[in-house]
Amino acid sequence: MNVLITGASGLLGGRIAEQAESRGDLVFSGYLTHQPAFGYPTRMDIANMQSVSEAFRRARPDLVFHTAAITGVDRCERDRDLALQVNVEGTRSVAQAARDSGSYLVFLSSDYVFDGSRGLYKEEDARNPINFLGKTKALAEDAVKSSGARHLIVRTSFIFGSRASRAEENFALWAIRKLRSHAPFKVVVDQFITPTYDWNLVRMLFEAADRGIEGTLHLAGATRVSKYDFAFSIAKSFGLDWELMIPTSMGDVGWAARRPVDSSLDTSRARAILVNKPMELSESLRRLREEMRE
């Protein structure tokens, strides 16, 4: 199978490329500036339709994973034009190319399409983003739906793993580094999420793609926790000093963009239909610990 991945030098895109390569797929790893570690490096600028078309002509993909995006919440708030160009128009271009090539498209969306007023959101719940990242993801979902491409929209939440992306550490690596430095640091107690281990997410993604599931599906971890409790669980799992963590509230952080109070996802549909099911946090952290030892 020919697989094209946008954003293949990022945390999730790199994991997808690694898994696709291990399966024996012919992997075309799309990137803009940093060459990815797995697959055939395929330079593409998703904000440029000609660049997207050229990448599709080269790859002739049966399956496309669209992970490339501006994901920094505050960055999207500050640079809205760039966020629209990449997250919305870039997704529109990828979806149209997937339609024209007859490819099956898996688009990675976000829990931030919800306002966070209650949490444990189901696939059919109304979207109401409160920051610009969430707005661009909601618009991108609409672009995928209207494109005519065979597609699966996957909403996920707070991805973590053993590797840093080119841009930044994920939360788990950041927390481990902070804890190992033995210096106190602040973690918010009033924001709730469903942390998602990248190893688990990638296996769910490939199962859904192999089965040709269409529509919208929530693929995230199975445990709803606050960011503070997530960091606490990391500390306990890795045998680090949790007392270094200073509880703080979202209102005291000074972010440029609002965050949903509770954007946790209900993954009951995924648990019902997939063999590779969303993992509980304790199991995810156990596997992360083992992976980092290796």
Q: What domains appear along the chain, each with residue ranges and CATH number?
A: 2-159+196-218 (3.40.50.720), 161-193+224-264+280-293 (3.90.25.10)
Grouping H, G, I as helix, E, B as strand and the rest as coil, residue 273 is helix
State residue 228's pLDDT score: 98
Q: How many CB atoms lie within 10 A of CB 256?
A: 13
Report which secondary-structure segment, H or E, holds 5. Answer: strand 2-6
CA-based radius of gyration for the chain: 18
Q: Which of 105, 281, 282 is nearest to 192 (CA)?
A: 281
Question: Structure tokens of 65?
Answer: 């994973």
Report the pLDDT value the prediction gives residue 254, as an integer from 0 to 100: 87
pLDDT in tens, 224-270: 999 999 999 999 999 999 999 999 999 999 898 999 999 999 999 99
Taking 50 as the pLDDT cut, the residues of the chain under it are: none
d(CA 268, CA 217): 10
User: Which CA distances in Å does 280 have to 78, 154, 233?
Assistant: 35, 19, 12
Sign of CA dihedral 268, 214, 148, 25: positive
Average pLDDT across the chain, whole number: 96
Residue 166's pLDDT is: 60
Q: How far apart are CA 103 and CA 101, in angstroms?
A: 5
Task: Tell me the sheet residues that pair with 6.
Answer: 66
Output helix, strand, coil percentages for the chain, rounded to the nearest 5: 45, 20, 35
- pLDDT tens-place string over residues 196-219: 999 999 999 999 999 999 999 999
Quick one: pLDDT at residue 165? 67
- Say how far apart CA 171 and CA 10 lie, in whole Å: 14
Other CB atoms within 10 Å distance of the CB of residue 35: 12
Query: Nearest to residue 42, comparing CAs of 70, 5, 1?
Result: 5
CB 108 within 8 A of CB 65: yes
CA-to-CA separations, 206 to 54, 158, 212, 274, in angstroms, rounded = 25, 19, 10, 11
Find residue 5's DSSP bridge partners. Answer: 29, 65
Residue whose C-alpha is closest to residue 21's, from 34, 6, 2, 42: 2
Contact 156, 106 (CB under 8 A): no
